[in-house]
Chains A and B, each alone.
Chain A
Amino acid sequence: GQNIDQPTEMTATEGAIVQINCTYQTSGFNGLFWYQQHAGEAPTFLSYNVLDGLEEKGRFSSFLSRSKGYSYLLLKELQMKDSASYLCAVLDSNYQLIWGAGTKLIIKP
């Protein structure tokens, strides 16, 4: 079967750096997405990786290793507003999105 694994919950301190990991086993791979979802709100798109390496976008970066079935989202200079759930999703060989259960990130002052 197809599977996406993410930690359920992480805690970090304001101003620090946090890395949220995502590992996947899917039938084929056509790209990996990260979304942010604040409590009670809609998920919003953060990043898309299809080639190996690091994509940087301001305070957020996303890394992909296709050979290892592994991605991470790196958040720098954490702010209280970064408290949210972070969803990892993989496009499989049929271009269907397979979703992880999300990582709830708690930022403490």
Chain B
Amino acid sequence: EADIYQTPRYLVIGTGKKITLECSQTMGHDKMYWYQQDPGMELHLIHYSYGVNSTEKGDLSSESTVSRIRTEHFPLTLESARPSHTSQYLCASSEYGDNSPLHFGNGTRLTVT
């Protein structure tokens, strides 16, 4: 039973479109994260949040934005999708402690044509 939900699971869109990937968690976790994962490659941090109204940029943040208006919701927006954005996007959450493990959603597989 998933406690962190991502929608859509799969998305195919054209270049230049604006898209929002949704992520919600029901665990009351303060910390939330967005990662990008390509096959056989390490996870890259896009954005993270330590709580409501807190957002920080990761390594790959320059082409996307996030918001954290509610504890449970952390959407990721690509203003203008490009083929280079084709990837798997994973949302995660954790309790506040620095060594708390991440709980991941099942991901959104995005293809930009």
Contact surface of A with B, Cβ cutoff 8 Å: 4, 8, 30-31, 33, 35, 41-45, 48, 50, 87, 89, 91, 95-97, 99-102, 104
Contact = CB atoms under 8 A, between A and B. Distances in A.
B106 A41 contact: yes
Interface of B: 40-45, 90, 98-99, 101-107
A103 B42 CA distance: 10
Contacts of B44: 99
Nearest to A9: B40
Which 4 A-B pairs give the minimum distances between C-beta atoms?
Answer: A42-B104, A45-B101, A99-B42, A99-B43
B42 A45 contact: no
A39 to B, nearest CB: 10
A44 B104 contact: yes
A35 B104 CA distance: 11
B99 A97 contact: no
B50 to A, nearest CB: 11
A42 B43 contact: no
A4 B99 contact: no
